[in-house]
Amino acid sequence: MEPSSPRKPHLSSLPLDSENKATEFHPFSTSPPHMFAFHLAWLSLFSCFFSAFSIPPLIPIMRQNLNLSAADIGAAGTAAFVGSIFSRLAMGPVCDLVGPRIASAALSLITAPIVLATAFISSPTSFILVRFLIGFCLAKFVANQFWMSSLFSTSVVGLANGFAAGWANMGAGVAQLTMPLLYSFVKSFNVPENTAWRVIFVVPATFQALTAIMVLIYGQELPCKDSIKVSNKPKESFLLLLFNGLMNYRGWILGLIYGCCFGVEMTMDNIVAQYFYYRFGVNLEVAGTIAACFGLTNWFARPLGGIVSDQMAKLFGVRGRLWGLWAVLTVAGLLCVLMGRANSVGGSIGVMCMFSVFVQAASGLTFGIVPFVSKRSLGVISGMTGSGGTVGAVVTQMLLFSGDKFSTQTSISVMGLMMIICTLPISLIYFPQWGGMFCTPNETSIDEEDYSLLV
């Protein structure tokens, strides 16, 4: 009797390129390995966003029980984003070394107990510390985008990245909607207020752990690994991968741009429920529902950004991706300014919804460019860009939404102006093979392997 052979990866039902990456993307398909991995990736990241933003809609209640000041709430909001800055930067090289599946699942399993620990906080200091530590789980975003870039061809990678991140980012909106409802449900059983909000944190913690286990058991990082041509070149070290990525100026610019779209999005997720609760006097459940509208547009808005990026590339090449990003992010900035100047609850909600579509689409457009920056250090560039998002959230939170220096509505308008100004460096991105916004490609052809080293 012959010994049983190792289980081989599933053959794909999608057309593949020379690297066995899918050249088509069907978001409502679950066929293995490409589309099944896609669904595992976004659902797992969804659980992390749900965990990270499960606290903000409950802050009006937690504030009373924990005696939190405005400064404490602002510091905690900043801490939540600081926690993911360096973890996102580190996640890129980790994905290069061990793969996105293991990196993703390990991070979720490590941070799930911290989410559960929210039930035991008893002081402003422990509140800030828990928000800081939970922020680490958002580094999973880098693994998510890295995973999509390894599964899907450049012709559809913007679409794949947009759907994977967009559907995952809905976790923030679902948390804004469901956590107040769970609190009210538990409280309806005559559970004391101080206990009711603590009990419900078992939900995000359990959800996060379960999705991580699913990724470990069922996930597949690369299709048909045994059929991919193996390079004769030695595997590069962690430090060399990191150095090559950090020396690429395009990664730094994309990090800045991502801070102006995804960073702003995270800041809004952090403050929007409180904004409507305090400024317009709506109750906790209504404030959470309004805030959910901002996050839930990710279902189509960020994927739309990926679609726009890919379509612009078909018409104008990589230069089209750059122009599309600049235009969408500029409109998002203008809408952000307008939202801060809206004086009625209805008008504010309407502008907020339009703003959410454009700012989330801009995030999709940003990661439609990332895979073209450096093939060799893709993980590092993804980490740099992703870290830029959290740096942007930290900067806007600290400058505009910490303490009582500015009213929230004024801070929102100033944030929009910052977005518009920060779109200008997009014009500095230049690819020798494809050109830039105002520059044509270099006539001298460049080998793809050498191109990955260009800085």
Residues 207 and 291 in one domain: no
Return the CATH number at 107. 1.20.1250.20
DSSP states of 26-61: -TT---TTHHHHHHHHHHHHHHHHHHHTSSGGGHHH
In this prediction, residue 232 carries a pLDDT of: 46
Task: Choose among 20, 8, 85, 109: nearest CA to 398.
Answer: 85
Asked if residue 10 is part of any domain, the answer here is no
Are residues 246 and 118 part of one domain? no
Domain that holds residue 317: 237-438
Q: How far apart are CA 175 and CA 195, in angstroms?
A: 19
Q: 322 and 184: one domain?
A: no
In a domain, 13, yes or no: no
- Judgement on whether residues 296 and 170 belong to the same structural domain of the protein: no
Q: 446 lies in a domain? A: no
Q: Do both 204 and 279 map to the same domain?
A: no
400 and 341 in one domain?
yes
Same domain, 146 and 250: no
Residues 296 and 333 grouped into a single domain: yes
Q: Are 263 and 328 in a shared domain?
A: yes
pLDDT of residue 5: 38
Tell me, yes or no, whether 293 lies in a domain.
Answer: yes
pLDDT in single tens digits along all 455 residues of the chain: 344 333 344 556 788 888 888 999 999 999 888 999 999 999 999 999 999 999 999 998 999 899 999 889 888 988 888 878 878 878 878 887 888 999 999 999 999 999 999 999 999 999 999 999 999 998 898 899 889 988 998 888 878 888 998 899 899 889 989 999 999 999 999 999 999 999 999 999 999 999 999 999 998 876 544 444 444 445 566 677 677 788 899 999 999 999 999 999 989 988 898 899 989 988 888 998 999 999 899 899 999 998 899 899 999 999 999 999 999 999 999 999 999 999 999 999 999 999 999 999 999 899 889 888 887 777 788 888 988 988 898 899 888 987 777 889 999 999 999 999 999 999 999 998 899 999 888 766 555 444 444 44
| Inside any domain, residue 116 | yes
**Total number of domains in the chain:** 2
- H and E: helices and strands count for the chain: 18, 2
Q: Verify that 187 and 282 share a domain, yes or no.
A: no
